[in-house]
């Protein structure tokens, strides 16, 4: 996928891989069976062509819990654990799983199936293992951790002689604690990192100090800079977890008063990643506007066009969009004399691929091509897919808004949550790709810490480079200069 012309990439289908198993469609694999739930039996779960499409919340919870001769499809485990938090907090679901486990265990002990208890306990532990591995952050909540301890304690009490189950529980607990400790340390590190400083910009028509570096003084190779941007993107996006993305749809519903609200404290990673996009856009605008000489500004614009082009070729659409957004900001876009010297053919191609018409049809075609390349990749470089994050979030939100959570019969519209889960899983697959490019700390340090101009300072610098052309711009220029001078 190399960006050379305006020709759109061929339309390709997205091949969906499963979250933890072979299917992402909700199909019931051969031999898995279709387990009904609730008082109504299988009537509380509705299947269509072997695919679970709806059910009551209670039936869906029961469908999650294994029996002696049943274990849920792993894609169902992921999808239900992910979507259930829209209706109830994880610790309440865990408590209900514990209740269902006890009910089934009592039935086995009362009957003639005591020999089955060992197998049943092992399946429950396996379910808990998959839960703690897929959603370890659920157990940062003290209530969820307490419920987990309660369930595992009951299992060990009832299976005192089952060394295999005890060992599995010990390994599960140790892995979970290590994962939570690592995430806690990473969170502390992120909180220590400062956002790029906002520079007040040039107050008078003084040239920047000769010692003041610009991006070309740090890196003049567009490909290298695109690779370093990809490093930063993958590092930042790796802090986003599936449950963070479900916050997009976790809002109070009048039909479910008990349902948990979206927790603002859990959207930190989403906001931090979105903030990176904005900082990159502002950095691009700053680098252009701070240059005094028109010839150098022209060179700077052409450099960023080439960087955006290399980002496209890598599959880093988020950085590409941020760069284009920076060049389209008013303080940069109004520099007509500078743009007249720029060879804009490459920029026109970039804007073609990011054309918002028809719901960003051109971009989506390119994203599908990159997705297919990633799935067929023989090298780590071909696996990189970093979508435009804002558009991905809007897609999830739109999917949530156009499809109801409940059907007229009161069932949960599970068909909707299969699709949301599929898209979130695909995104999470992209975030797990290890960046194949060598890290350059000097370049990354500049990208992350270089001062960026405020919007006001950008306009001042822009007007000083190319004077106001009309009365409106002249009035704005005078107002901004007065404001910044008073602050200084």
pLDDT tens-digit profile of 25-81? 444 443 334 444 433 334 589 999 989 999 999 999 999 999 999 999 999 999 999
pLDDT at residue 16 greater than cutoff 50: no
Please name every residue paired with 272 in a beta bridge, in sequence order, or none if there are none.
none
Q: Yes or no: say if 318 and 359 are a contact pair by the CB < 8 Å rule.
A: no
**pLDDT attached to residue 14:** 29
CATH number of 51-188: 1.20.870
Of 70, 22, 73, 71, give the one whose Cα is nearest residue 52. 73
pLDDT of residue 60: 97
| pLDDT for residue 182 | 83
Distance CA 465, CA 92 (A): 61
Q: Which pair of tokens denotes residue 310? A: 């290399």
User: What pLDDT, in 10s, does the model give residues 437-462?
Assistant: 999 999 999 999 999 998 888 998 99
Superfamily designation of domain 216-250+266-487: Ras guanine-nucleotide exchange factors catalytic domain (1.10.840.10)
Which of 257-261, 316-320, 362-366 has the least mean pLDDT?
257-261
Per DSSP, the residues of 131-180 read HHHH-GGGGGSHHHHHHHHHHHHHHHHHTTT-HHHHHHHHHHHHHHHHHH
Q: Given a cut of 90, is residue 488 above it in pLDDT?
A: no
pLDDT of 229 > 90? The answer is yes
pTM listed for this prediction: 0.83
Picking from 17-21, 259-263, 281-285, 358-362, which range would have the lowest pLDDT averaged per residue? 17-21
- Tokens at 477, concatenated: 């220029």
CA–CA separation, 273 and 91 (whole Å): 28
Tokens 């499409």 found at: 53
**CA-based diameter of the chain, in Å?**
91
Domain ranges in the chain are: 51-188, 216-250+266-487
pLDDT bin (cut points 50, 70, 90) of residue 272 is: confident
Contact 70, 62 (CB under 8 A): no
> Residue 259 — very low, low, confident or very high, per pLDDT cuts 50/70/90?
very low
Q: Contact at 8 Å (CB) between 132 and 87?
A: no
The predicted-structure confidence for 378-410, as pLDDT tens digits, reads as follows 888 999 999 999 999 999 999 999 999 999 999
| pLDDT (0 to 100) of residue 160 | 63
Element (H, E) at 77: helix 74-84
Share of the chain above pLDDT 70, in %: 80
Which strands, in side-by-side order, build the sheet including 45-48? 45-48, 51-55, 412-413
């Amino acid at each position: 996928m190399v960006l050379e012309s305006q020709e759109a990439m061929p339309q390709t289908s997205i091949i969906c891989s499963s979250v933890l198993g072979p299917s992402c469609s909700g199909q019931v694999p051969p031999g898995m069976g279709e387990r009904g739930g609730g008082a109504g039996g299988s009537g509380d779960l509705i299947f269509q062509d072997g695919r679970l499409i709806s059910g009551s919340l209670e039936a869906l919870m029961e469908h999650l819990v294994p029996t002696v001769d049943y274990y849920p499809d792993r894609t169902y485990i992921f999808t239900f654990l992910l979507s259930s938090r829209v209706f109830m907090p994880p610790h309440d679901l865990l408590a209900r799983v514990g209740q269902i486990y006890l009910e089934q265990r009592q039935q086995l002990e009362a009957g003639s199936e005591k020999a089955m208890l060992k197998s049943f306990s092992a399946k429950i532990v396996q379910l808990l293992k998959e839960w703690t591995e897929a959603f370890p952050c659920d157990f940062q909540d003290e209530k969820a951790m307490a419920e987990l301890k309660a369930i595992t304690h009951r299992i060990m009490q009832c299976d005192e002689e089952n060394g295999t189950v005890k060992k599995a529980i010990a390994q599960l607990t140790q892995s979970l604690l290590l994962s939570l400790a690592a995430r806690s340390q990473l969170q502390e590190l992120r909180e220590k990192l400062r956002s790029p400083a906002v520079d007040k910009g040039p107050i008078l028509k003084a040239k920047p100090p000769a010692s003041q570096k610009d991006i070309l003084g740090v890196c003049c190779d567009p490909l290298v800079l695109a690779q370093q941007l990809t490093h930063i993107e993958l590092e930042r996006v790796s802090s986003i977890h599936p449950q963070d993305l479900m916050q997009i749809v976790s809002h109070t519903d009048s039909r479910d008063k008990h349902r948990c609200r979206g927790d603002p404290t859990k959207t930190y990673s989403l906001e931090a990643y979105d903030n990176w996009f904005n900082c990159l856009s502002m950095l691009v605008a700053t680098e252009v506007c701070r240059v005094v000489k028109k010839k150098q500004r022209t060179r700077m614009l052409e450099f960023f066009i080439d960087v955006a082009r290399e980002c496209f070729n890598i599959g880093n659409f988020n950085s590409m969009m941020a760069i284009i957004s920076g060049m389209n900001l008013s303080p940069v876009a109004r520099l007509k004399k500078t743009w007249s010297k720029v060879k804009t053919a490459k920029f026109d191609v970039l804007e073609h691929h990011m054309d918002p018409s028809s719901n960003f049809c051109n971009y989506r075609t390119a994203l599908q091509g990159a997705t297919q390349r990633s799935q067929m990749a023989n090298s780590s470089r071909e696996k990189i897919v970093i979508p435009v994050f804002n558009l991905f979030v809007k897609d999830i939100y739109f999917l949530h808004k156009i499809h109801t959570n409940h059907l007229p019969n009161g069932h949960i519209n599970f068909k909707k949550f299969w699709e949301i889960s599929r898209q979130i899983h695909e995104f999470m697959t992209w975030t797990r790709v290890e960046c194949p490019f060598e890290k350059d700390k000097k370049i990354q340090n500049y990208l992350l810490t270089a001062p960026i101009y405020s919007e006001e300072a950008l306009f001042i610098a822009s007007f000083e480079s190319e004077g106001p052309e009309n009365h409106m711009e002249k009035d704005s220029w005078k107002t901004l200069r007065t404001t910044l001078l008073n602050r200084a």
